[in-house]
Structure formats: C-alpha cells, structure tokens
Amino acid sequence: MNQAERFRVRDALLHQLAGPRVLVMGILNVTPDSFSDGGKFDQLEAALAHAGRMRDEGADIIDIGGESTRPGSLEIDGEEEWQRVEGAVSALASADGLPVSIDTYKASVARRATLAGAVIVNDVWGLKRDACMAQAVAETGSLAVITFNREKADAAIDTRSDMVSFVAESFARTDRAGIPRAHLILDPGVGFGKTYEQNLQSLANLDVLVETGCPVLVGVSRKSFIGKLTGRPVGERFAGTLAAGLRTVQMGAKVLRAHDVGAHRDALNVYAELCR
C-alpha cells in the first residue's frame, strides 16, 4: 500500500471514530504464548483465515500482535517480533481491506508495520517504554492507542487521580513529538499494572478519558479480573466480557477490542437500535 492509500484508510477510520457507531477491533495474536489464544494463529494461513472470519463477523479494525503482554510473558527483540507479524500485516493492510493496527511498544516494529500499511500503533506502554516511539508515530502519521499502564501495581494509588495525571503526561509527550491530538485514542489499560480493584476503578472512572474528547478504546476480552469476579476460566469469560464492554459503551467508549467479534457486533447493533 502506498502512502496516499494508507492515509486514505487512516482518514476514513478517523471519520468512523467521530461518528455514532461503536467499532469492534478484532484481536489477531500471532504469538505462541498469549493468555487466551496463544499458538492458534501463529502460522500465516491460520492467521489470515481468522482475520477473514473476523471481517465477515463485523470487525472494523484488525489488531495484530506478535509479542504477548500477559503478566510473566517473555520479552522478545524487535527482529523476532517483526518476523512473527510481517506476513499478516503485509497481507491484511491493503487499500480495500480493514484498517490494520500493530500491537507493539517497539518503535522499530511500529515503523516497519506502518511502512507495510498499518494505520494504528497500539502501544500498551503509552509511548513510554521505547523513547523513539512517539517520534515514530508522528513521522509516520499514524493513529496511536495510548494505554494507561503503570510499571507495577500499587494498591495505595488513587486510580482516578492517577488517570488524570496519565492524561496530562500523555498529552504533553505527544504534543512535544508533534502528534496531532486528533490522532490519539485512549485506553484505560485494564490488566496493566493494576490491582483487581484498580482494574474495576479504571473502568468506573472512564469519564476521565471520555471527557478529553479523544476516542476511548476498551479491551477487557477474557481478562483475569473477569475470571476473579465470576470464577470462570479463560474460555468461559464471554458473558462477563460483554457485560463490561456494554457498560463502557454506555459511558462513552468508541472501540471495543475483542476476541469474539461476531457476538460483540450483534450486541452493539441491538444496543444501538434500542438507544435509537
């Protein structure tokens, strides 16, 4: 995909984000060790087939990740991560395909993925882990998902105050890099550096992010706080996932990042019709 086509895809996505419809970001983990689906789609044929299913089920974005970010996962270098995602990004990022997001905190991977056509950089470290990431986002004209992530959980932290500080720090960082505010998407970061209670609080205080005017992405699909609350194993957390997702939509979330795309699309369609 050439740069003009890529920007056309990006701008069409920005138009969707500004509209009333809540989008579904389908998760494509091409990893051997992700907490929910590790090893299922790490071969290119399986990855592309799964992406096709998510597209047919109503996904609006495909989020491709090559390194697990679950607690205790092993870090890999940028070259290995790129080797894992290259085939899927290159095949799926096309002018007539769904917008592709690259789930990475490494600037080198982000640059290569955007060169291949990805339009979103989904950084679970909020552009902080790699000092070159903000510059990479700015120079490639990418949209950026900035996640509220702490180095480690601290039960003494007031979640709402911490979220306010996170927003201010994130805006200062992106302003310095020259990233337009309109290119930012905020994520409450459920599961990243938070206690069980703080995960719930980050969702309960979603208004802190919504009131910035930036689109808010929520990713709670099959996560451990749902397991703790319901007692369900990873494969049985769909009901809890959907309940949490729809509650955040009530609060203003614009994108739900999900494994179960079809059911999320159906639920969002019914929700929107009832609201109408």
CA-nearest of 166, 177, 171 to 134 is 177
Q: Considering 106, 223, 237, 254, which one is annotated as catalytic?
A: 223
Q: Which residues contact 275 (CB under 8 A, 6 or more apart)?
A: none
Pairing of strands 217-218, 255-258: parallel
Catalytic, 223? Answer: yes
Angle, helices 238-251/261-275, rounded to nearest 10 degrees: 40
Q: Considering 106, 194, 257, 265, which one is annotated as catalytic?
A: 257
CA-nearest of 188, 176, 180 to 225 is 188
Catalytic, 173? Answer: no
Strands of the 217-218 sheet, one edge to the other:
184-187, 143-147, 120-123, 100-103, 61-65, 23-29, 255-258, 217-218
Q: Does residue 240 contact residue 226 with C-beta atoms inside 8 Å?
A: yes
Strands (E), 35-132: 61-65, 100-103, 120-123
Q: Which residues are catalytic?
A: 223, 257
